[in-house]
Amino acid sequence: MTESMHDYMKVGLIHFMAYPETIRGEGPILETVKKIAVDDYFTAIEVTNIKDDEVRKEVKKMLDTSSMTVAFGGQPMLLTNGLNINDLDETKRQEAVNMLKKGIDQAYELEAAGFAFLSGKYEEETKEDSYQALVKSTKELCEYSKSKGDIPVILEVFDYDIDKASIIGPVDMAKRYAEDIRAEYDNFGLMVDLSHIPMLRETVEESILPIKDYIVHAHMGNCVIADPSLPAYGDLHPRFGFPGGENDVDELVEYLKVLMDIGFISKERRPIVSFEVQAFGDEDPDIVVANAKRTLNLAWARV
């Protein structure tokens, strides 16, 4: 593709993954958000819970000044607190919902373009009960967001048996779920992630085409799953080209082509497509981010 990628999508970076010391809502949030805000390669940023009200106000001011699109990731609010949105214990399920409602409040404060979360773990023998609990929770979140404005609620598709072991999950479950929620709420959509597709044991086409009408957000990343003994095994989002990893330039090319073929990446929509990458071991986070940008540059030239 000779045209600019920025004409077709808003290239983003997941702040709390690139700089994981901020994932619990504390740490060097202002310094690291600024690194992204001053980099004009990025037109979008994804943030999560920011505990300090004043820090959150400063982040809002910074992002307003930079003219970046911001999205809110509620996934860490569940994962770092050990919460499951489809918990069969009603008290714990409601605790997870209430936690995400606090995230939705922050998303509105930051004027985010979307609010994302993930489904939780499940047991095979009670899978349908877990699914119904997820549907109930999602409808509560959609209703809550709709009562405050127009920020969409977005579920990110994760692996179902390797790392996060989320019920959504395989593409057939993702399709059923999206259909069930969209039947009642138009402010709902799905997020796909290149780094999760190999963990789902699906090809890019198998993972995306059945749910193409529900995709509203996308991530780009890598994973290591060939052997549990390998460094960075699981859902750790190592850099592109990481030893033993599944994704590099070729895989990103295929992913972008499919997203373009279904009309998701387009001049009309210009959706957020963000890097989800994280330094491993003693790697420098800034160099890992630079690796991601170079990988996308090479891939886009071949789309």
- The DSSP annotation for 54-66 comes to HHHHHHHHHHHHH
Structure confidence at residue 9 (pLDDT) = 98
Structure confidence at residue 227 (pLDDT) = 94
- Output the pTM of the full model: 0.96
On whether the CB atoms of residues 288 and 279 are closer than 8 A, the answer is yes
Structure confidence at residue 98 (pLDDT) = 98
Task: For residue 179, give both structure tokens.
Answer: 């259909």
Structure confidence at residue 1 (pLDDT) = 84
Q: Is the dihedral of CA 266, 35, 102, 99 positive or negative?
A: positive
Extract the runs of DSSP E, i.e. beta strands, from the chain. 10-14, 44-47, 69-73, 115-117, 153-156, 188-193, 215-220, 272-275
Given a cut of 50, the residues of the chain with pLDDT beneath it are none
Structure confidence at residue 116 (pLDDT) = 98
Rg (CA), the chain: 18
Structure confidence at residue 99 (pLDDT) = 98
Structure confidence at residue 217 (pLDDT) = 98
CB crowding 36-75: b at 16 or more within 10 Å, else e: bbebeebbbbbbbbbeeeebbebbbebbeebebbbbbbbb
Nearest to 173 by CA among 119, 125, 230, 213: 119
What number does CATH give the domain 5-300?
3.20.20.150
